[in-house]
Amino acid sequence: MDRIEELLSLFQEISENPREQMDEYLMEGKKIIGCFPYYVPEEIIAAAGMVPFGLWGKHGTPKAAKEYFASFYCSIAQMGLEMVLDGTLEGISGILCTTLCDTLRPLTQNLKTVCKVPFIFLAHPQNRKPEYGITFTRRQYENVKKQIETIAGKAITEEDLWGAIRIYNDNRKALRRFVELAGKYPREISAVCRGAVLKSRHFMKKEEHTALLTELNGLLENLPEEKWTGAKVLTSGIILDNPKLLKLFDEQKLVIVADDVAHESRAIRKDVRESGDAMDALARHFASQDEDTILYDAKWHKRSSYIVDKVRSSGAVGVVISMMTFCDPEEIEYPSLKKALEEEGIPYIMLGYDHQIEDFGQAATSLQAFADIAVP
């Protein structure tokens, strides 16, 4: 096994067994804060010397969570709550959840009821860009900081925050470079491996993830250029992390050259500025986020144009949309995105996605037909 394979195997092991990674940190004496999506200012947690641990649900069927949610709630929320109820997260020191969609809001209240560890509620503003929105975000972050300090048993200094911001910016840069390289070397980086690398970052200290990723990027940069006979695609949606589904991309020679997936690249598109006041920089970083189905934008049509532009700039020839079941923001946006892609003559396919799906037979048929259409 060469070094590239070793690194990919390590990323895959962590992405598939996050509990083992959690246990390693606990054995090291680290405190862990579970972070439900989206746009959690993880730098504040890292600045306190604790480990932010991404909670995007898990594959399977909810059991205990059914008592708290109707069946039409998205599986990220249902399976995230299931993880709290079934002991999957035993040993963590706290949980933080944002309220950026109509499903996360009731989830926060359920978490507040069932959590046996401190629960941190984070409300982002709808109007994030005006100064009053930035002020609101900063005050929310200051509240998070106080609660994190209580859990950590130490004060977070300005120096601590800047150190964490630099670590996270380094990780974002390395991830953006990896996404670019993965699209150029699909024989080395399969869709399954690509997904594992991106998913593993949610379960690792960012400096550790960056060190491994920087090494992988360096090895990929030294490889000879690959010729690819399949179709280059852009993926879009909230999450696309099931290896069974990603394997279908590999079987149909669909290489993901770019993505607009919340679980993958949306959060790493921009760095936090490294000057001025640290908390202000974090608040303005959230304010700068755009082209996201869960963020309010008066110019709602911008996102469709953004996807079209991203298809062109990445060299993709088509779009695979992963539609989270029962996600109102995604469903509302779909007609405008569909119209924009059709007007530009860009092939696309929409796949329903849910953590409970075990059989991807229908997706396999759809991707095969899409691959035949998309190959130039």
Do 239 and 360 lie in a common domain? yes
Do 267 and 361 lie in a common domain? yes
> 156, 178, 205: which is the final residue of a domain?
156
Q: pLDDT value at position 69?
A: 84
Matching residue, tokens 């604790």? 50
Matching residue, tokens 């995007």? 56
What gap in Å lies between CA 74 and CA 353, rounded to an integer?
Answer: 10
Q: Note the pTM of the prediction, 2 decimals.
A: 0.95
Q: pLDDT value at position 247?
A: 96
Q: pLDDT value at position 233?
A: 97
Do 127 and 260 lie in a common domain? no
Q: pLDDT value at position 53?
A: 98
Any domain includes 193: no
Q: pLDDT value at position 298?
A: 75
Do 254 and 376 lie in a common domain? yes
Amino acid found at 200: S
Any domain includes 198: no
Residue 249 corresponds to which tokens in the numbers above? Answer: 């991309």
Matching residue, tokens 């991807």? 360
What gap in Å lies between CA 175 and CA 171, rounded to an integer?
Answer: 6
Q: pLDDT value at position 268?
A: 95
Amino acid found at 23: D
Amino acid found at 158: E
Q: How many helices (H) and strands (E) does the chain have?
A: 14, 8
Residue 192 corresponds to which tokens in the numbers above? Answer: 């399954």
> Is 323 in contact with 348 (CB distance < 8 Å)?
no
Any domain includes 107: yes
Task: Name the phi and psi angles at 4, rounded to 5.
Answer: -60, -45
What gap in Å lies between CA 368 and CA 226, rounded to an integer?
Answer: 23
> 130, 156, 182: which is the final residue of a domain?
156
* CA-to-CA separations, 348 to 284, 293, 317, 342, in angstroms, rounded: 34, 18, 9, 8
CATH at 50: 3.40.50.11890
Any domain includes 110: yes
Do 143 and 253 lie in a common domain? no
Tally the domains of the chain. Answer: 2
Q: pLDDT value at position 297?
A: 83
Q: What residues of the chain score a pLDDT lower than 50?
A: none
**For strand 51-54 and strand 254-261, is the pairing parallel, antiparallel, or unpaired?**
unpaired
Burial of 124 per CB tally in 10 Å (0-12, 13-18, 19+): buried
What gap in Å lies between CA 187 and CA 180, rounded to an integer?
Answer: 14
What gap in Å lies between CA 296 and CA 283, rounded to an integer?
Answer: 16
CATH at 260: 3.40.50.11900
Q: State which residues form the domain around 69.
A: 31-156
> 139, 156, 173: which is the final residue of a domain?
156
Any domain includes 311: yes
Any domain includes 180: no
